[in-house]
Structure formats: C-alpha cells, structure tokens
Structure 1
Amino acid sequence: GGVLGGADAALGVAAGVAVTVASYVLTTVVLAWADARNPQLVLPFGVGLYVAKFTLLGGVMVAVASTGWAGVVPLCLGIAVGVVVWTGAHIWWISTVHARRTRS
C-alpha cells in the first residue's frame, strides 16, 4: 500500500489486515471457549458474534468513510486480502498439515 499510495494507503492496508486478524482471532477464541463449556453454545455464540462483529464493522466503516480519509479504499482492500490469506492458510493447514497428523 505504501509503494502504490503513500502513507495513507499503507496505514489503510495495515489497518484492514489488522481488523481481519482481530476478527478471526476473536471468533476462534470465543467459539473454542463456548465449545469447551458446552458444544450446544457454539451456534448461538457464533451467530451472536457474527451479528455483533459485522454491525460494529459496518458502523466503523461508515464513520471512517465519512471522514474523507484517503486510506478508505486501501482499508477495504486490506480486509479483503486478509480474508483471502487467512482462509487460504486454513485450507492449506487442514489439507496438508492436519491431514498428515490424522493419517499417522
């Protein structure tokens, strides 16, 4: 982002990736906690967390977009890249590393 768009773009991309990482880590921790307490809590906690996260994310995005900050588009691209990379890493982990462990 910094190479293509300067400091605002670099900050936007970094913030977007950070938002994605924080979101996925929060989900992982909360759902692991719920599953450890009672597996029947996973669905309600998952749905509740999903609604809360996307409501908060939407509100933050509207607030940031209304400022006219030049890093808004890079922020969105950082979120998208973070989602693709995180999802790809999980697919790789499950299909290679985890699969080897379960076969052994």
Structure 2
Amino acid sequence: MGTLIPLVVLVIVFLLIAVRKIGNVNFRIWQVMLLGAAAVLATGSIAPLDALASINLDVMLFLFFMFVIGGGTRVERLPPPPLLSLLLTGGGRPGIWSFSSSSAQASSRRS
C-alpha cells in the first residue's frame, strides 16, 4: 500500500500534463506538478525533509536559466544570444558534436 499512492499520483500527474484541460479548467504544467508534490507530501508518502534533500540545486539553476533565456527570446522575438548559438552550433567547427573520431576526420578531409 505504501507504494500505491505515489504510483497513482504519478499516473494522474502524467495524464493531466498530457491532457492539460478537463472541462473548462485549463491546467499548466507547474500547477499539475505542484498538486502532485502536495499530494505525496499530504499523504505522508515522502517526508518533507526527504523531499527537500532530494532537490538538486545544479538542475534547478540550469532549468531556471534555460527558461529565462527561452522566455526572453520568445517574448522579445529575438534570436538566441550569440553565446548560446555558438554552443549549439559548435562555433562552426566541423565534427564538434560527432561521436566518433572517424567522422571528425572525414569531415576535416573534405574541407
């Protein structure tokens, strides 16, 4: 019974994220996740201190800044910042995202 409640909450959260609307009520992803977290905390499936200890600060900071960059470019209709473009394209160097050295060598031979 101890693992049934979190499993049911997980399925409900996934379904609400997929559907995002029930009748006239629209759900945002953060609202669904917050309700799911509150449900497992309220039922005692996870202790509040365990929930706090499981938060990875590196991931939270990464997601925060990615949403800031993405939201800023969408609202202002600007292209991504130059540094982000360089990171995504590899600065124009061939073979930077290749997974084997043979493809990098092949692309450098073509140049």
Scaled by the length of structure 1, the TM-score of the pair is: 0.32
Higher relative CO (Cα under 8 Å, sequence separation at least 6) belongs to 1
- Larger Rg belongs to: 2
Scaled by the length of structure 2, the TM-score of the pair is: 0.30
